[in-house]
């Protein structure tokens, strides 16, 4: 959905609210009292009412919007901005676009949207042929730590993440000469121990996968988790074994630096979820509608 289509479909608060009601009905509402999903909209009370127990559920209850006092139009504009571009928007920029006086509510709203994106990403499992590599992301360093920073691994200004990418060979008349990328997954991993890597791989990658990695010591036991594990020396060439994971890491770093400038360690996973959410749905025609349903 482009900007002109969005303005035409959601010109005011009432249109956003009406669409949210339809989306909740489409997703289904479970009664907290009797667990039934049969509800109808009680217009006089602006609530859903269970057909069996007559228990009422507010429109925002049980959704990411719960406890938020921001108007529905704020949420819809923010969801449109976050889903309409590959790069993303900072909270300061969204605040300026909305004309809101305070920064904190807008930042919290965007963090909640990223939380919904992350929950959706956790449901997907990578399969087939998968590349995996680690990267170190520069993060915000508190002033009190700047005088005693470490260098290399373990530095306070670097956060380790694991990047996994589905990679499938493309066949032509001359054989397999190029690769096609599928889904991606990026997760924060603070530990250098192989046990932490093994746990992450077992939750994210299918056991019948062919896994490609470099020769890091923390990968030595991955052959017990996946069907086939191939370790090769890492290379920066275009046709390297870890081609798509390297491209994803480079794009992620430029995105974080160019849009957000710096990210704190405790919030980095949310930005990784947003990046992968849009990357994995790059071929969807209406990503905005998909995001609205994920907010419910």
Residue 197 pLDDT:
93
Residue 295 pLDDT:
95
Residue 178 pLDDT:
73
Q: What is the CATH number of domain 129-141+154-263?
A: 3.30.420
The DSSP code sequence of 157-189 is TEEEEEEEEEEEEEEETTEEEEEEEEEEEEEE-
Residue 129 pLDDT:
93
Burial 258-277 (b: 16+ CB within 10 A, else e): eebeebebeebbbbbbbbbb
Query: Any alpha helices (H) in 10-60, and if so which ranges?
Result: 13-27
pLDDT digits (tens, 9 = 90+) for 167-183: 988 766 566 567 789 99
Side-chain-side CA neighbours of residue 33 (13 Å): 11
Residue 17 pLDDT:
96
Instruction: For strands 47-50 and 175-188, give the pairing.
Output: unpaired
C-alpha to C-alpha distance for 151 and 155, rounded to whole angstroms: 5
Query: Any alpha helices (H) in the chain, and if so which ranges?
Result: 3-9, 13-27, 72-84, 91-98, 104-122, 194-204, 243-255, 268-280, 287-295
Q: In which residue ranges of the chain is pLDDT below 70?
A: 142-149, 151-154, 171-177, 236-239
- pTM for this model (two decimals): 0.91
Residue 164 pLDDT:
96
Q: Where are the domains of the chain?
A: 3-122+287-295, 129-141+154-263
């Amino acid at each position: 959905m482009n900007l002109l289509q969005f303005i035409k479909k959601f010109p005011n608060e009432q249109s956003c609210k009406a669409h949210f009601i339809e989306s909740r009905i489409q997703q289904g509402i479970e009664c907290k009292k009797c667990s039934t999903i049969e509800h109808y909209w009680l217009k006089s009370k602006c609530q859903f009412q269970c057909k069996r127990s007559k228990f009422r559920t507010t429109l925002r209850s049980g959704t990411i919007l719960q406890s938020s006092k921001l108007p529905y139009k704020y949420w819809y504009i923010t969801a449109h901005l976050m889903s309409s571009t590959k790069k993303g928007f900072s909270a300061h920029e969204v605040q300026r676009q909305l004309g809101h006086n305070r920064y904190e509510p807008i930042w919290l709203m965007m963090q909640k949207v990223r939380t919904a994106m992350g929950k959706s990403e956790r449901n997907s499992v990578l399969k087939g042929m998968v590349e995996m590599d680690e990267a170190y992301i520069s993060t915000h360093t508190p002033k009190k730590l700047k005088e005693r920073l470490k260098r290399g691994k373990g530095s306070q200004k670097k956060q380790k993440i694991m990047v996994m990418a589905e990679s499938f060979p493309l066949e032509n008349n001359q054989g397999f000469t190029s690769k096609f990328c599928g889904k991606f997954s990026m997760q924060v991993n603070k530990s250098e121990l192989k046990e932490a890597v093994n746990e992450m791989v077992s939750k994210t990658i299918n056991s019948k996968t062919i896994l490609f990695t470099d020769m890091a010591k923390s990968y030595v036991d991955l052959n017990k988790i996946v069907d086939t594990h191939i370790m090769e020396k890492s290379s920066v060439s275009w046709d390297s074994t870890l081609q798509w994971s390297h491209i994803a890491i480079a794009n992620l770093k430029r995105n974080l630096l160019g849009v957000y400038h710096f990210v704190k360690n405790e919030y980095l996973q949310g930005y990784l979820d947003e990046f992968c959410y849009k990357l994995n749905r790059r071929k969807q025609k209406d990503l905005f509608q998909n995001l609205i349903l994920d907010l419910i």
